[in-house]
Each structure stands twice: as C-alpha cells, then as structure tokens.
Amino acid sequence: MNILLLTNTFSPHVGGVARSVEAFRAQYRQRGHRVLVVAPEFSGMPAHEEGVIRIPAIRNFNATEFSVALPLHPRLSARLDNFRPDIVHSQHPFLLGMTALRIARSRLLPLVFTHHTLYEQYTHYVPGDSPALKRFAIALATRYANLTDKVFAPSESLRALLQERGVTTPIAVVPTGITLHHFAQGDGRAFRRQLGIPEEAFVAGHLGRLAPEKNLEFLARALAAFATTHPQAHLLIIGSGPAQEVLRQIVEQAGVATRLHIVGILQQQPLADALHAMDLFAFASQSETQGIVLIEAMAAGLPVVALDGGGTREVVRDGVNGRLLPEATPETFSAALQWVVTLPPERRRALTRVALKTAAAFSMPRCADKALAGYAMLTEKFPAAAKRDAREWEEAASWMKAEWEILKSVVGAGDAALCTHLFNERFRE
C-alpha cells in the first residue's frame, strides 16, 4: 500500500503529533508499505530525508518552535503523480489538513483524519480568547471530520466525545503506540548522579510540554506540597515551555527549590535514563486525547498519579497501576503521591508489574495493526464510494481560498492554537 501522511508538525519538532507520525511511518515501512510524508520546513531539519516532502513555511513562527506551511505547493502534484498514493491520512483539520482534503477529493482517494487534539483547550494562546472562539474551534474540527471518510480517535473517551459533538463519519479507536524497548532499559542511577540526586531519594517526575493547558500550576503546587512533607523527595521535570518559570517560582516559594531538577527536552536513551531515575510519575493535565506520556512512563515501570480526564482514565487504574483522582486539590494530589511512598515494597512492585502490562497493550505493532485494518476497509470500497456532494467540496475550497489572507494576521502559539486564530477575525463575538 502507498500511504500519504500530511502533518503540520514533524521532526525535528518534538511533540505528540510529530512522534505519532514518525512511529506509524516506521511501522508501516517495516511491513513493506511505501510511505510519503508531507510536512512543513522546520529549522534544523535534516538536509536529506527519504520519503519526505517539505513544504515552504514561515519558520519559528511568532517566535515559537513551530512552522506555518504556506498554502501554495506547486511541485507537490508531480511528486504525488510519481508516488501514486492509495490512501491519504491527515493529522490536522487546517493548513496541510486542507491540502490533504484537496488531494483526496481531486484524486478520488479515501481520506483518514486522526483527531489528535482538543483544539478548544488551546484558545488561551490567542488574543481575544472567548467562549465563541472555543465553540468555533470545536465546530471547525467537527466539520472537517465529517468531510473525511474515517476518523481515528486515540482513545474511547475521545470517540464518545466526537460522536456527542456531531461527528457522523465512522470513528475507529487507534491509539498512538510506543516502542516498548525504547523505555524498558535505562540507567537511572547514573542519571541521578549527574543531577546530584541521592540514591536513596524518592523521585517524583513529570514529562511533557511545560504549558498552561497541561495544568502545570496545579501540578507544581502538588509536587511542592509533597516535597515539603517528604524531606527525601526530589522532583524531576523533563520538558520545556512557557510554564517553566511559574513551576520554578512555586517550588521556590515552598522552600524546596534545591530539590527541583528541570532537565529540558530529552529523547531516546537519555529520556529512558531519566524515566528510570524516577520512582513515580505525576500528571495533572486534563486536556489529553490520549495519555501517551503515561504509557511511556509505565513502559519504564513507573506507577502513575494523575487527575481523571479523557485518555488518562483509559491508562491509569486507581489502586492498580497508580492513582486516578476524579476531583482533587493540590493537597489531595500530594497525599496520593505520599500513598505510593508509604506502600510496602511488594505492593509497590505489584504496581510496577501492572504498569508494564498496561504499556504492553499500547505497543506500536498493535496500534499499527489497527490503523492498517482501517486503511484496508476504506481502500477496498474506493473509488465507487468516493462520490461526494459537490457543495461539500465547494465549501472546503472556500476555506482554502481565504486561508492565506487570514494567515497574515495569525498570532497563535503553535500547532493546536493555530487553527482557532486562523478564522478569529471572521468569527469574533
């Protein structure tokens, strides 16, 4: 099968969508499929990439690490003629997502859309954030989903939410899997030594973009309270982002700053080493469509303490592989961390065993099986089922025609925030 993947974020950008695209691409290739990725140019991207078409883009848009792909792609059509895709898979409802729609409809190809993100959770990045803007972000993604032939939802929780919002296109649950052996082995002791963390310390950790939508202020207060009441506790944070200083300030105000370690973005073996330096994983985000970092933590054998939310509740089982808190204050979250500390050694080992078993259910091969099965069902019935109401395509084309003019005024902060601002000036209350 010839699989065309279009994404607004890709390496060297580090993020959930970029990692998802790269992981699925690797699995498809291992199984003998041809894969072509269409992505924007990014600063620091490799000079030569096999199977990747880079679209000219505004790099480091608005002083961020993101790129905004320009809407005109004159050389793309010839490359696609040569590749001859069997299926088109879009990762976004905007920018290159609209390009995916145009390609699929003009070539009578099935179009799959992975609904990675709850876009309304990111409108705080945009000037003029309002309830109307949040409603529009939801409407945009829903409308796009209903122009596609199949939607992949990373979790059962998201599938239910999309159906509630009016998505009528068939939805399959296809999580982004992980490569288990990447996280199974790590030198946690050496990583602790590098940071000056005592071997006997209890390390509570976190991994992810340090941004407001991840509920980092709540998490910082909970971790600070935990460290205050547990003198042997150290806090290990992997990631970077705009909430980093707020997190640091809260921990400093609690008087435990010397036990806070923010190590920035890590990948591959250093990431595995850092996870193995932890004793548990703490997570407070409620904006997730899938708890992929929770799965990565569990693949390293870590129990998880998390707030209940879509995606998270399908990974964390309260009292079985960690703690899942339906409603919590920083103090009760801190108490849940303390619960893990005080467990007898055998009980803690039981949490680890179940965490490893949970991660195994999200292995990349299993998730690729689900995606490829979804592709196969679509390709079998095309092009006979490819007829569309012309009005749908005309409406989509009008979005693309207006997109460049709107892009000139974009002030968003990145991939998830971007689509909400693209149409802000036309749909402001």
Cis peptide leading into 231, omega within 30 of 0? no
DSSP designation for 56: P
CB atoms within 10 A of CB 344: 8
**pLDDT value of residue 114:** 96
Q: Residue ranges of the domains in the chain?
A: 2-177+365-422, 181-362
3-class SS at 232? coil
Reply yes or no on whether the pLDDT at 73 is more than 50.
Answer: yes
Report pTM.
Answer: 0.78
Q: Is the pLDDT of residue 64 over 90?
A: no
CA angle 135, 139, 143 (to 5 degrees): 180
**Parallel, antiparallel or unpaired: strands 87-90 and 2-6:** parallel
Q: Hey, what are 127's tokens?
A: 């000037």
Closest CA to 68 of 415, 416, 390: 415
| Backbone phi and psi for residue 100, each to the nearest 5 degrees, phi listed first | -60, -40
Per-residue pLDDT averaged across 292-318, rounded?
Answer: 94
Bigger pLDDT: 96 vs 190: 190
Q: Give dist(CA 222, CA 228) in Å, integer.
A: 10
Residue 396's pLDDT is: 57
Q: What is the pLDDT of residues 249-273, one digit of tens each?
A: 999 999 999 999 999 999 899 999 9
Q: What is the pLDDT of residue 289?
A: 77
Place of tokens 């999309």: 162
3-state DSSP call for residue 270? helix
d(CA 329, CA 111): 43
**Per-residue pLDDT band at 360 (split at 50, 70, 90):** very high
Give the model's confidence band at 10: pLDDT under 50 very low, under 70 low, under 90 confident, else very high.
Answer: confident
What average pLDDT does range 214-236 have in this prediction? 96
C-alpha span between 37 and 7 (Å, rounded): 8
Q: What is the DSSP letter of 241?
A: S
What are the phi and psi torsion angles at 379 (to 5°)? -65, -25
* Cross-strand partners of 173: 153
The reply to whether 2-177+365-422 and 181-362 are identical in fold is yes
Q: What pLDDT is attached to residue 291?
A: 82
Q: Thinking of the domain 2-177+365-422, which architecture would CATH place it in?
A: 3-Layer(aba) Sandwich (3.40)
Could you identify the residue written with the tokens 């012309």?
A: 390
Per 3-state DSSP, the chain is made up of helix, strand and coil in percentages (nearest 5) of 45, 15, 35
In this predicted structure, the answer to whether residue 355 has a pLDDT above a threshold of 80 is: yes
Token duo for residue 368: 């690729």
> 395 falls in which pLDDT band (50, 70, 90)?
low
Split at pLDDT 50, 70, 90, the class of 413 is very low
In single-letter form, the type of residue at position 144 comes to Y
How sure is the predictor about 141, in pLDDT bands with cuts at 50, 70 and 90?
Answer: confident
Asked if 92 and 98 count as a contact pair (C-beta separation under 8 A), the reply is: no
The predicted structure's pLDDT at residue 404:
39
* C-beta neighbour count of 326 within 10 angstroms: 9
Structure confidence at residue 392 (pLDDT):
62
Architecture category of domain 181-362 in CATH = 3-Layer(aba) Sandwich (3.40)
Q: What pLDDT shows up at residue 424?
A: 38
Query: Do the beta carbons of residue 179 and residue 139 sit within 8 Å?
Result: no
Per mean pLDDT, which range of 60-64, 71-75, 86-90, 121-125 is the poorest? Answer: 60-64
Poorest-pLDDT segment among 290-294, 369-373, 399-403: 399-403
Taking the C-alpha atoms of residue 78 and residue 76, their distance in angstroms, rounded to an integer, is 6
The pLDDT assigned to 136 comes to: 74
How much is the pLDDT for 68? 45
